[in-house]
Structure 1
């Protein structure tokens, strides 16, 4: 998890990574995946991060804002979510941890843990994720269509 404090640095991380996005993010995408991500997906993400200086800054900005985000989430947790929540995790990453986290703030949490999948669920198991999303959303789609 060394990358979290690195990503939160003010500027030196951008200076070290700029022009080397393929090395840094290629490593991140490769090492947190259980299944190798498709080359086209890796190229797409790296190109997006390298294409504009604000894109790289924004990717690190998410980490730099963690203190504010955590404080905001603490305030949000005072009013529990009542709508249905779908929590999807990769079994070889956080797995059931996604649902367990959401259960701290939501009353109706459905959990899907995708086997043989790591951190990058959408890229590693797109069909399984689509199936989980479809099963979760289908009742709401049918309800909307019947109105």
Structure 2
């Protein structure tokens, strides 16, 4: 079987670059931050080989897809609209949606609000979270020395300047730091030095987010993989991807209209036990209570030793679970 091909489609008034492989029922794979369609490189082939049409877009603001300048063009409704537009571009009545990181949050709400178009969901890393009672940024942790990374991302231009100075260094640091190997190394260094961590996801106000020392490549990422990511972000920049975070409070406002609506489609959830998202305060409670909001949740599959980059760190396990889930679905 030949590898995936790429092309541009029209969706929701913008151009989306998609990578696709195979024929059959549509499976839409939505990536997170800071990634691209390429984060699904291992899944495209496996899903296609199982008899499906696997499609992984560069999400709005990423890669070769359009990158609207205005922050308010990156709300959850824009993202769901892009995916519905992608289904229309393929003349597909419905699809199974798969999402990781930001793509997970988008996939949760796409399946929740449009079960007629997204008939099942496989979600990686980010558990379903019901709407909070207060604006999300109002309860994010911060001290005089540090702030939660999503707060660091709020001011336009600040994180862009740090991340775009050397995209290869930036992507290497993020992909290693968020991985199972990175989490293990960081814990070991902290234990050896006697230092206490400033907290999960916290960023120094003085030094920024990226480490000042070189990091190794994790075992699951080749130099060529890193080169691909670095080149994509060197061309596209980080403004679009960071604009997702700048709509967190706006999304909270918009979602008030759908308070209490559950995710009613068949769902699979997978995450690594060393994923930083699973380490966030309250995550264990969200996992334990998820079936209350996702009544057709089939399974919660935890991957030992795996960090945040689920489908890249554990491709064989993710592919096997995903294909089993796809084949279990009616139709």
Report the TM-score when normalising by structure 1: 0.79
Name the residue aligned to 1:14. 160
Q: Over residues 66-120 of structure 1, what are the superposed CA-to-partner deviations in whole Å (9 max), with x where a residue is unaligned?
A: 1123344554452112111111111111288574474353111121111110010
Name the residue aligned to 1:80. 262
In 2, Cα distance between the equivalents of 1:38 and 1:130? 17
Aligned length: 140
Task: Tell me by how many angstroms 1:13 deviates.
Answer: 1.8
Provide closer, same or farther for how the CA distance between residues 45 and 132 of structure 1 changes in structure 2, counting only shifts above 3 A: same
1:42 to 2:218 alignment? no
In 1, Cα distance between the equivalents of 2:292 and 2:169? 37
Q: CA RMSD in A?
A: 2.5
User: Which of these residues, 119, 123, 129, is aligned with residue 312 of structure 2?
Assistant: 123
Larger radius of gyration: 2
Q: How does 1:1-147 map to 2 (within 5 A)?
A: 2-35=148-181, 36=218, 37-39=220-222, 40-53=224-237, 56-73=238-255, 75-93=257-275, 94=278, 97=284, 99-100=287-288, 102-103=290-291, 105-109=293-297, 110-140=299-329, 143-144=330-331
Verify the 8 A CA contact 1:90 1:115 in the aligned structure 2: yes
In 2, Cα distance between the equivalents of 1:13 and 1:132? 36
2:293 alignment partner, SS class: coil
Name the residue aligned to 2:40. none
Provide closer, same or farther for how the CA distance between residues 104 and 64 of structure 1 changes in structure 2, counting only shifts above 3 A: farther
Q: Over residues 16-36 of structure 1, what are the superposed CA-to-partner deviations in whole Å (9 max), with x where a residue is unaligned?
A: 322322222321111110142
1:51 alignment partner, SS class: helix
In 2, Cα distance between the equivalents of 1:77 and 1:85? 20
Name the residue aligned to 2:99. none
> Per residue, is there more strand in 1 or in 2?
2
1:87 alignment partner, SS class: strand
Report the TM-score when normalising by structure 2: 0.38
Provide closer, same or farther for how the CA distance between residues 135 and 58 of structure 1 changes in structure 2, counting only shifts above 3 A: same
